[in-house]
Copies of this chain bind each other. A is one copy, B any other.
Amino acid sequence: MANSTDKPEPIRFRFAQSLEAPQFIERAAQYAKDPRKYLEEKLGRNVLEERKHLLHIPDKVDKDIYGAGEHKANFEKHIAKLFGKESGLFFITGVQAQLAALKTHCERVGRNRAAWHVTSHLETAEAGSYKHLYGLERVLLGEKDENPSLEAIEKALSLPEDQRPAVVLLEIPNRTLGSKTYTWDQLVAISAACKKAGVIFHCDGARMWEIEPYYQKTAGKTFADVAGLFDSIYVSFYKGLRGAAGAMLMGESSLIEDAKVWQKRVGGTVITLMYEIIDDERGFNENIGTFARKWKKMDDLQRGVLEATEKFRTKDGERIISFVADPATCCQVHNVFSGYTIEELTAARDKVEEKLNVRLFERLRAKESVELMTKAERERMLETNGNNVVATEDDRKHTIEWMLAEETLEVETKVFVDAFAAFAKELVTAGAAGKQ
């Protein structure tokens, strides 16, 4: 973004990607010309060598025609193999990938019903597509502030057959809940319960790249181990991986073949998606293997911020700045700001930016609860650029969502800590001044 003054661009604790359109496309063009050379320059030969077991570096990219193309097929195979699945299918959106999976599962089972949590993308951000377009019914699982428990899922699994879901979808990790997730043992138990009940288990793995280090660290488990607990899984390429757009569905080959029919019906079989496929491969190659470090940094700065802002409390003794999840499960978190209005928070943010040239968030909003929001509000909420703002309980609680990404990975931890501490101090000082 152009600046009319000499002041450098502030450091942003942002959610969205920062490149402008021409540079974004130019980067893809550079990669397409010679993927290996691009990656050598971007990552260095040593890093490339270290990560080569993870990467997919084609000698040559080609243009898929209506989904058929050698490069696309090889990339799909590579990702599917990483997740231990037989086949993969690229989609332009996760909406298409997941609904194709759910519809196909339901048709194969012969029961037209799927189960998911109230915070699921299917429930909040797809204008009721599952119902209005795919003719599916759904069972809502659990309560809104936590991932559905084994008990809540078992309750759905033991419904009478005409109400029982054909498929259970869990989002690993849960984006709306600040990336809260299940432990490995919990997932194993839920997977076993689904299998026992003869119910398909599908993973919304939009942020599986981000959460994998958690399963590595806590249970020594890989992408394939986690995906192995599910019958099918969808992953996204434009979030943590920073690709242009797109998603992949993985599972048995017969599932993928059936899902292709729904992809066609939904107008998802495009003359070519080569740009997205190529840029997503670039994003995958650049970012895979970096999420443990991003999580570590988020964890470090979270400890630092909590320590530095320990003393800043609301009149009810609540922390002014807190984190969800706490501790962070991955590089993406929510911050909850308690005790102040939007106007006060925004003024404090601007003061911090002025003093430290760090901008903590873009927009804020408070809502009574997700359920009370109109559909349009919920959709806007989920699509806000910059930091995404998440609903909270009262007008003195606001939430921002952000991730440690390549743009901020090299920013010193102290910069984050100082900025949040200055923000809290600013709020308290301005609040006290306002009350005089």
Chain A: residues with CB nearer than 8 A to chain B?
Answer: 16, 20-22, 24-26, 28-29, 32-33, 61-63, 65-66, 71, 91-97, 99, 126-129, 132-135, 238, 244-245, 261-262, 264-276, 278, 379, 383, 385
Beta-carbon contact of B28 and A32 below 8 Å: no
In contact, B264 and A127 (Cβ under 8 angstroms): yes
- In the A-B complex, list the 10 residue pairs whose CB atoms are closest, starting with the nearest: A95-B267, A96-B267, A129-B265, A22-B32, A93-B267, A29-B29, A26-B29, A21-B63, A25-B29, A127-B264
Least CB distance from A125 to B in Å reads 8
Q: Which of B32, B66, B95 contacts A25 (CB 8 A)?
A: B32
With A65-B385, A92-B268, A126-B267 already in contact, 18 other A-B pairs whose C-beta atoms are closer than 8 Å: A16-B65, A21-B274, A22-B29, A22-B32, A22-B61, A24-B274, A25-B32, A25-B275, A26-B29, A91-B267, A96-B267, A129-B265, A129-B266, A133-B134, A245-B270, A245-B271, A266-B267, A275-B276
Q: Which residues of B contact A32 (CB under 8 A)?
A: 21-22, 25-26
What residues of B have a CB within 8 angstroms of the CB of A267 in the complex? 91-97, 99, 126, 129, 266, 268
Q: Is B265 a contact of A133 with CB atoms below 8 Å?
A: yes
How many subunits of this chain does the assembly comprise? 2
Check B265–A127 contact: CB distance below 8 A: yes
B238 pairs with A62, CB closer than 8 A: no
Contact across chains for A21 and B93 when beta carbons are under 8 A apart: no
In the complex, 24 of the A-B residue pairs with CB atoms within 8 angstroms, ordered by the A residue number, are A21-B61, A21-B62, A21-B274, A21-B278, A24-B63, A24-B274, A25-B32, A25-B275, A26-B32, A28-B275, A65-B385, A93-B267, A93-B270, A95-B266, A96-B266, A126-B264, A129-B267, A133-B134, A244-B275, A245-B271, A264-B379, A267-B268, A275-B275, A275-B276
Task: Report chain B residues within 8 Å CB of A268.
Answer: 92-93, 267
Question: With the chains together, A63 CA to B133 CA distance in Å?
Answer: 29
Q: In angstroms, how far is the closest chain B Cβ from the Cβ of A64?
A: 9
Q: Is the CB of B271 within 8 A of A238?
A: yes
Bound CA span A419–B25, Å: 40
> A261 and B95: CB pair below 8 A?
no
Q: What residue in chain B is nearest A26 (Cβ atoms)?
A: B29
* Smallest CB gap from A132: residue in B: B265
CB distance from A196 to the nearest CB of B (A): 32
Nearest Cβ on chain B to A203's Cβ, whole angstroms: 18
Contacts of A132 in B (CB 8 A): 265
Q: How far is the CA of A383 from the CA of B132 in the complex (A)?
A: 29
Whole-angstrom CA separation of A96 from B95 in the bound complex: 14
**Could you tell me the distance between the alpha carbons of A32 and B262 in the complex, rounded to whole angstroms?**
33
User: What's the least CB distance linking A370 to chain B, in Å?
Assistant: 18
Chain B residues positioned under 8 Å from A383 (CB to CB): 65-66
Residues of B within 8 A of A272 (CB): 244-245
Contacting residues, chain B, for A21 (C-beta < 8 A): 32, 61-63, 71, 274, 278
Chain B neighbourhood of A94, CB < 8 A = 267
